[in-house]
Structure 1
Amino acid sequence: MEIEIPCVLMRGGTSRGPFFLADDLPEDIALRDELLLDVMGSPHELQINGIGGGSTLTSKVAIISRSALPDCDVDYLFAQVSVMKRTVDTRPNCGNMLAAVGPYAIEQGLVPVQGKETIVRIRNINTGTRVEAIIQTPNGAVSYEGDTRIDGVPGTGAPIVLCFEQAEGSLTGKLFPTGQRTDWIDGVAVSCVDVAMPVMVVHAEDLGKTGRESAAELDQDKAFLARLESLRLQAGRLMGMGDVSQSVVPKPVVVSAAEGGTIRSRYFTPHSCHKAHAVTGAIAVASSAMLPGTVSHSLMQTNVESENAVINVAHPSGQIAVSLEVRDAINNPKVVRAGVVRTARRIMKGSVCVPAPASIVA
């Protein structure tokens, strides 16, 4: 017996996945996760029996509901569905999928159109972060067409502005979860930073890399990946997250120097290199670049110690610009606000068919 679940397949930023209304999924978490694994076709390298794309970037799920909070319109729960394991991780946020939450919420009737632009106030359930998304809504409906181009996605689209507030300490509750701006693990300097996404930042040269390698080149170096994972596991414990071997956070990031107000980043998800860059990860990397004493800051070739700056995070497909407001970066740092521009697209809507769990059949 199969069941049909209404969903909309959407691209958000450089990620893609199905969007569901929370009411259309089981309340029981274990049962919900089993359904999501069947929806995506995991575990299988091609996810051939589901709608996943065989990549961490296309094996993501967004679950949306009305928010009970007076200052938020919708709640957004992100789920990272493993491609090769039968696991679902709801600890991290995904800023790329977040770009499609506003359009989805408007088109589902959860948020009314406000004019030529509509502000959707989003609470990310995973981290407690609140985000304002500015959606283009001319003629009373969401518009996906525009001239905005983001690296890693072909063509152009309507701009979606994401303004992150209270992103500091998204999962650990601390900007520097270890209490240090730089730690040493196995003789390697790392910076553990939590802004929108917990990350472990390491200088490429300390791992025998230039930082200019392609994602494919890095993924082929199994010894490098093993060493990076060893550092990540130890960093997870230092950050108070315990055993992170079955979690996708913290995310490891390999950085190197670039020109001007730019830092070069290779972002891992966490066991393969992102072909572009996660939005939340870019915010974390850019924030660390503005904070003296971190691995990232030491590589910046321009002064970024003002309270407001735009940091360009270069990645394998181009770059992403992050607008930041940081106060008292030297003594008592506070990341007040972060903003990025993304695009999104509705790809398909309808229902996804999955085998009915035994409990539902009974």
Structure 2
Amino acid sequence: MKSIPCMIMRGGTSRGPFIRMSDLPPQQDEQSKILLSLMGSGHALQVDGVGGGDPLTSKVAIVERSSHPDADVDYLFAQVDVLNKRVDFTPNCGNMLSAVGPYALETGLVDPQEGTTVVRVRNLNTQRLIECLVPTPGRHVQYEGDTRISGVPGTAAGIQLSFLDIMGSKTGKLLPTGQVSEVIDDIAVSCLDAATPIVLLRASSMGVSGNETPAELDAHPTLLTRLESLRVEAGKRMGLGDVRGKVLPKVVLISDSKTPESALNVRYFVPNRCHKAIAVTGAIAVTAAINVPGTIANELFVEAKQITTTELLSSVTLEHPSGTINLTAEYRQQNPLDLARVSLLRTARKIMSGDVFYQLSASTEMTVASP
């Protein structure tokens, strides 16, 4: 048995081990073998590791000091498959990112300041920068507070995340197919890439209301198969290649919100299961889509709210299965195609700190998807 230092943290609505890059081998396939073992993948409960038997709790954050002049730390996210020997390094996770700042401060990668510390993060999955504002009264990370986020019990200290210049994070373009909407297999969709690539479609076009619970959508006899077929074709059109076995792009079903305060109601897939809330990066992409004329999201929003103004929506609230998420968007020169920054409030908690043990098998067969 071998071990490496580890801190298990909750970040937003996700949870997983946080590990120093310097404690892992440099080869990504060797890193993947370690992650699969320590998470216990290959078993539905991940009973032989620290994974939680769900995509939201089978995530790993790898953090290290950054050489980038505008960043303090680098953050590499790994989505570890629960049932299969597969590790995907292509997506980012904004929820796990919520705990990167606290982790960097706890481990001495960044020196805490009095009051609030700004931790500048470079996400290696997307090569984008994020500013994390972490409360540090007395130069110590504060976890207790009165901020409540949907999908997490209780309250905690608020951590502001600001994602900078996130258009085209994986494809290089906000509209990777060059179109605001198009048809795949007789279904109207919009393909966008802002913080993460997504495929948007109306829930009604799939014969569902969009108000179903994740369990109900997961149990639908044909929905997941149909969505995967659409996702695979969208991936090709977006320049992502063959996305079978990968988690990007993500599919988002949208419907009219239940309250006038919210812009849309969303169901986000990860990708072969409905998310119990919504990923931060997915929420950012939907926010961007609402402001781009002609997208499925923009058309549904304008239609449902009976809006005639062309002003950009700077404050966006999205409904999801666990509640709501609030985002603030900033544009350059009020151009919907030039999104400068998206900010939102998350929380995090330190759960344990110590060593995590793993064992390697030379015969392990696995799949690694690199950023």
TM range (shorter): over 0.9
Post-superposition Cα deviations, 1:261-320, rounded to whole Å, max 9, x if no partner, equal 421100000000000110000000111011110000111144474345111111000010
1:153 maps to: 152
Distance 2:262 2:348 in 1: 27
Quick check: 1:3 aligned with 2:31?
Answer: no
Name the CA shift for 1:85/1:329 in 2 (closer, same or farther; >3 Å): farther
Aligned to 1:21: 20
Provide the TM-score with structure 1 as the length reference. 0.96
What's the secondary structure of 1:240's corresponding residue?
coil
Task: Report the Cα distance in structure 1 between the residues aligned to 2:182 and 2:242, rounded to whole angstroms.
Answer: 18
Separation in 1 of the partners of 2:84 and 2:310?
Answer: 43
Q: Which amino acid aligns with 2:252?
A: V
Cα 1:230/1:137, change in 2 over 3 Å: same
Aligned to 2:280: 279
The answer on whether the counterparts of 1:264 and 1:313 sit within 8 Å (CA) in structure 2 is: yes
1:262 corresponding residue in structure 2: 263
1:322 is matched by which residue type in structure 2? L
Instruction: Say which SS state the counterpart of residue 296 (structure 1) adopts.
Output: helix
Aligned pairs for 1:5-154 within 5 A: 5-154=4-153
Deviation, structure 1 residue 150: 0.1
State the 1:325 CA deviation: 1.6
| Structure 1 equivalent of residue 173 of structure 2 | 174
CA contact (8 A) 1:133 1:163 kept: yes
Structure 1 unaligned regions, length at least 5: none
* Match status 1:184 vs 2:189: no
Q: Secondary structure of 1:237's match? A: helix
Equivalent of 1:355 in 354, 359, 363: 359
Partner SS for 1:350? strand
Q: Give the % identical residues.
A: 50
Partner of 1:321: 326
Contact (CA 8 Å) 2:9, 2:16: kept in 1 or not?
A: yes
Report if the CA contact (8 A) 2:15-2:96 is conserved. yes
- What letter corresponds to residue 205 of structure 2 in structure 1? D
Following TM superposition, by how much is the alpha carbon of 1:103 offset from its aligned partner in structure 2, in angstroms?
0.1
Alignment RMSD (CA, Å) = 1.5
Report the 3-state secondary structure (helix = DSSP H, G, I; strand = E; otherwise coil) of the residue aligned with 2:199.
strand
User: SS in structure 2 opposite 1:68?
Assistant: coil
**Partner deviation per Cα, 1:237-276 (whole Å, 9 max, x = no partner):** 0001110001100000000111344211000000000001
C-alpha separation in 1, matches of 2:35 and 2:221: 30
Give the TM-score of the pair, scaled to structure 2.
Answer: 0.94
- AA of the residue aligned to 1:315: H
Q: CA deviation at 1:356?
A: 4.4
- Structure 1 distance, partners of 2:76, 2:311, is 34
Distance 2:362 2:45 in 1: 26
Q: Which residue of 2 aligns with 1:250?
A: 249
Q: How many residues align?
A: 357
Q: Distance in 2 between matches of 1:194 and 1:203?
A: 18
Q: Is 1:17–1:52's contact at 8 Å kept on the other side of the alignment?
A: yes
Deviates more, 1:282-291 or 1:254-263: 254-263
| CA drift at 1:329 | 6.9
Structure 2, unaligned runs of 5 or more? 364-371
